[in-house]
Amino acid sequence: MAKILGINDEQTVCDCCGKKNLKRTVIIDIGDGVIVRYGTTCASKIFHCHEQTIKEVGIGMEKVKELMNEWLGRKIPLWKISNFLQVKYRLNNYIENNKIIFMNEL
């Protein structure tokens, strides 16, 4: 099952259709550890949802990554971070092997 890992502007070409000069690409794990970067239009087709939903999920995940780095730098316990993300952002997650694992399927 495909999972969105994030969204950013590091790559501006869609791996699916080849469109160039994109503002951002969605980083997707399509299974078996294969990572691709699709434009939001192609990504929305994979997940059968509106393009805006893809943008919101991806940008939200990038914000969460920034917060995580900040919180871990301040040594806030993982259980507090996990709980906050579930309550504030409705991000389903669990702690395994001292890491927060997100269940971010659309």
Name the residue range of residue 71's domain: 3-102
The predicted-structure confidence for 12-30, as pLDDT tens digits, reads as follows 999 999 999 999 899 998 8
Q: Chain centroid to CA 101: how far?
A: 12
- How far is Cα of residue 71 from the mean position of the Cα atoms in its chain? 18
pTM above 0.75, yes or no: no
Burial class (CB in 10 A: 0-12, 13-18, 19+), 32: exposed
- Token pair in block for residue 34: 């294969």
Helix (H, G, I), strand (E, B) or coil at 78: helix
pLDDT of residue 106: 46
The structural domain count of the chain equals 1
41 to each of 4, 23, 24, 33, 85, how far by Cα in Å? 14, 12, 11, 22, 27
